[in-house]
Structure 1
Amino acid sequence: MYSVEDASTIAALAAVPEPSSLALLGLGGVALILRRRM
């Protein structure tokens, strides 16, 4: 059922964090920067 291609795709997806968690990290970084300026 699974080919080598599927396994490498799954490995690549696992190495990259989820878009939602990445967005949360980005928002946290922006919030910290804005907080320091005020």
Structure 2
Amino acid sequence: MTTHEILKILQEDIHTTVIVTIDDQGMPYTCAIDMMLLEDDY
């Protein structure tokens, strides 16, 4: 599965996703993202 295919599923079917990263002290940092637009030339 390509990155574009994954982003298309997020945009068309799931819409809201939560991205998680880890900061310098190992603590999680989250951000909710609404996937509303996917440009075909990505």
Category of TM-score, reference length = shorter chain: 0.3 to 0.5
Give the structure with higher Rg (CA). Answer: 1
Higher strand residue share: 2
TM-score if structure 2 supplies the norm length? 0.30
- Between Structure 1 and Structure 2, the one with more helix by share is 1
TM-score by length of 1: 0.33
